[in-house]
Amino acid sequence: MISSGPNLRTLREKLGLPGEDVETASERLARKHNSEDYRITTSRLSEFESKGVIPSIHHLYSLAVIYRREFSEMLGWYGVDLNQTASDLEACAPPRTHFSFALPNTAEVKKPVRIDPSFDPRTTSNFASMVEQWGMVSVAYLQQLSQKDYSYGYIGSEDLTMYPILPPGSFIQVDESQHKVLKGDWRSEYERPIYFIETREGYTCSWCTQSREELVLVPHPLSPAPPRILPAQETEILGQVIGVAMRLGESRKEGNDAEDHENRRQN
């Protein structure tokens, strides 16, 4: 990790800014935002630079603006790497299914930029060993490659509606352009469209059948969740699930799930 204090001082000196000018600029920001939290006195700045004091988020924002640096970069000087958001999401498993807004805001992602010529896509293999070189690419560039509107969701730890196809803890990709319930004879459960739905109680993923007045949420046959019949005006189909990232090898027992849910309810 970069030595944050000396780095702040070096950056200020390169810009030719005395401590008094930083204080004056921060006072302007404080007046603009009507909050003294943005103001940095010269004595406080000295503590940041020489005594290892960590700036508050408002002070760090002021420094980022004054020093013309990205706020995310300044956070990185203090050990907060926003590019680790995707891998850190597994630290918490909320019980309810919901939209995930963290992944689209990640500044950069690591992607393969050169593949081993011996890689054969017809055979199962360890993909990581096939990558000769990885590189950092801004998500802003990747978004330009997409011609559709996608959103992302998380299957809550208590949402068993589509278990075992979509086990709790899965991350899903939703195509918002596909929000009409399709009819058809599906050859397998994997062909039948799964929809991301908002109800009065929250979000869920489910197979669906729809009439003019009702929407029927059809769970997977192995799921303990019952079918739900809801008034059409009280639901909104947000899109079709087109991708999923999940963990494998974690067995679930219906009895344990019910017991865990009851314990959480009582606590």
Distance CA 44, CA 109 (A): 35
Q: Are 217 and 227 in contact (CB under 8 A)?
A: yes
Query: Distance between CA atoms of 1 and 4, rounded to whole angstroms?
Result: 8
Of 37-51, 138-152, 220-234, the least confident? 138-152
Amino acid at site 28: R
Mean pLDDT of 40-64: 95
Decide if domain 150-266 falls under CATH 2.10.109.10: yes
Asked if domains 4-77 and 150-266 share a fold, the reply is no
Mean local confidence (pLDDT), 169-196: 91
| pLDDT higher than threshold 90 for residue 26 | yes
pLDDT at 20: 96
Query: If DSSP states are collapsed to H, E and C, what string results for 47-101?
Result: HHHHCCCCCCHHHHHHHHHHCCCCHHHHHHHCCCCHHHHHHHHHHCCCCCCEECC
Q: Is the peptide bond before 112 cis (omega within 30 degrees of 0)?
A: no
For 4-77, which CATH class? mainly alpha
Question: Which residues make beta-bridge pairs with 207?
Answer: 218
Cα separation, 232 vs 241, in Å, equals 20
User: pTM for the complete prediction?
Assistant: 0.59
| Domain boundaries of the chain, sorted by first residue | 4-77, 103-144, 150-266
Confidence band of 255 (pLDDT split at 50, 70, 90): very low
Q: Any idea which residue has 């809550």 for tokens?
A: 156
Burial class, 130, CB count within 10 angstroms (exposed 0-12 / middle 13-18 / buried 19+): middle
Band the pLDDT of 212: cuts 50, 70, 90. confident
Provide the pLDDT for residue 83. Answer: 77
Three-class secondary structure of residue 143 per DSSP = helix
Burial class (CB in 10 A: 0-12, 13-18, 19+), 82: middle
71 pLDDT more than 60: yes
